[in-house]
Amino acid sequence: MVLEKFTKAEPNASVLIEQYLAKPIKVKQLTKSVLVIRATLLSLLLITIYGFYFYDYKGINVFEAIIGTIANFKIMFTEAHFNNFTFTEGVYAATVTLSLAVLTTLFGAMIALFLGLLAARNLSTPGVSNAIRGVVAIVRAVQTVLWVLIFAIAAGLGSVAAVVGMTFHSVSYLVKVYSESFEELDEGVIEALKASGASWWQIVFQAVIPSTMSYLISWTFLRFEINFGVAIAMGAAAAAGGIGFELFMASAFYYDIRELGTITYFVLFIAIMLEVLATKIKSKLRVSH
């Protein structure tokens, strides 16, 4: 029935179907890479099954635990209320966390902009570019929380160590994306400016940055969203305060799942507002370009 309707709508449908059926069916061969991938996936599946089977559950019934977890989530998100802090204190804690994210992103963007110019292969020498890329790759490989704890040895646990550690990792992240954005610039533009006698700084401010501004803002805002999530974790791990510290106290000290629900709503609301703001900024940049 479907083929009849299709042939009536398309006079050449029978010819197209014959041509399609005449094509040879390509069968994917079992190459060495395909076998390795399949063997790896099968091994991971068997290890997972083995782990679940021999895991020491300490007498806990898995199905009862799942039902209890669902019940806790229901209480958390349907009976959320303030218990150990007020709404005003919650807003203040969220503002502290946002401030940590803003500071680390601002400091990181300013430092990374200069280092990104030096790391771009079309704007710097190979030696300088490779050296900066190598250093930031090492810094980026270490997680943010470890950098925060490293700087906490000198500055002590608190917001100072959190800002320095988060900035350290933000710089390494932004240098990578900034330099890659700079390298996408047309080489002809740079060569034309050099031929006209423009200096390195004139090339940067008259061609490189204006051409990549939308990318720079997009990547910076993405890092800001990441830093907001990291700032929540650092509030608990590094005693940086903010909404993360309240989350830690409600979960580990007060054992109040209703307050956990309230804090989760706070974080969710801020995350949605940040996403809306990022979308509006990106739309305006597209319109301006």
Q: What is the pLDDT of residues 198-251, one digit of tens each?
A: 888 888 888 888 888 888 888 888 889 888 888 888 887 777 778 888 888 887
Is 46 found in the same domain as 116?
A: no
pLDDT of res. 17: 53
- Per-residue pLDDT at 107: 92
Closest to 178 measured CA to CA, from 143, 227, 142, 132: 132
23 torsion bin: left (phi>0), alpha (psi -120 to 50), beta (else): beta
CB contact at 8 A, 100 and 159: yes
Rounded distance between C-alpha atoms, residue 171 and residue 174, angstroms = 5
Residues of the chain with confidence (pLDDT) below 70: 1-29, 285-289
pLDDT of residue 246: 82
How many whole angstroms separate alpha carbon 267 and alpha carbon 276? 14
Report pLDDT for 78.
81
Residue 221 is assigned to a structural domain of this protein? yes
Question: Please, are residues 224 and 101 in contact by the beta-carbon 8 Å criterion?
Answer: yes
Determine the Cα–Cα distance for residues 154 and 150; give it in Å rounded to an integer.
Answer: 8
Six-digit token string for 182: 């700079």
Domain CATH number, residue 252: 1.10.3720.10
Q: What is the DSSP string of 54-97?
A: H---TT--HHHHHHHHHHHHHHHHHS---SSS-HHHHHHHHHHH
What are the structure tokens assigned to 227, written together?
Answer: 């830093």
Residue 70 within a domain = no
- Tell which residue, 88, 133, 108, 86, has the closest CA to residue 230: 108
Residue 160 sits in the same domain as residue 103: yes
Find out whether 72 and 228 touch, Cβ atoms under 8 Å. Answer: no
CA Rg value for the chain: 27
Q: Where are the alpha helices (DSSP H) in 120-199?
A: 126-141, 144-155, 159-183, 187-195
Same domain for 90 and 38: no
Residue 48: give the domain boundaries: 2-55
Domain count, the chain: 2
150 and 225 part of one domain: yes
